[in-house]
Amino acid sequence: MTVHKREAVHPLVVEQPASSQKTLAMGNPETINNDMIRNFLGAWERRDTEYIMDRFADDAVYHSIPLMPIAGKAAIRQWVTKFADVPPGRLEIRHQVASGNVVMNERTDYITINGKAVVLPICGVFEIENGRIKAWREYFDLGPAKAAYGRE
């Protein structure tokens, strides 16, 4: 198991240049998966839909545990594109662990919902298969998001 910690002062993850990705491809799977998820979350901060979608397997499942799962790349794309007009947020990784094909992180998302700033502590679990996200589960309290819509 490899444990990776990122300092809170570095909120934005920048995608690795192609030359660095070739080097990573020869590294161990845990390092590759860890870096892929950091870059994936960085793409969410930038609202880079194409990069985000390229990380998913065709039969991937995203499950925000308080809500219903979203299955399949087409359905996930519909969900992701709803964020195109939402102001970019900051996804601050506090801790991240990679073990085999699983990456888990504890993070705090600073996002805007319904025009209101929301701070959302999250635990994310990513299952990687053939270099793509096969399953992504997020565990968090839905209360702050509901409050932003005036539904507590």
Q: Are 63 and 136 in contact (CB under 8 A)?
A: yes
How far does CA 31 lie from the centroid of its chain?
16
User: Does the predicted TM-score (pTM) go above 0.75?
Assistant: yes
Q: Residue 41: which of 7, 83, 92 has the closest Cα? A: 92
Residue 84 C-beta-side C-alpha neighbours within 13 Å = 9
pLDDT reported for residue 64:
94
Q: Are 49 and 37 in contact (CB under 8 A)?
A: no
Helix (H, G, I), strand (E, B), or coil: what is residue 48? coil
Average pLDDT over residues 115-122: 92
**β-strands 70-71, 56-64: how paired?**
antiparallel
How far does CA 59 lie from the centroid of its chain?
17
pLDDT in tens, 16-70: 444 344 444 567 999 999 999 999 999 999 999 999 999 999 999 999 998 999 9
- How many other C-beta atoms are found inside a 10 Å radius of the C-beta of residue 105? 23
Domains of the chain plus CATH, in order, are 2-148 (3.10.450.50)
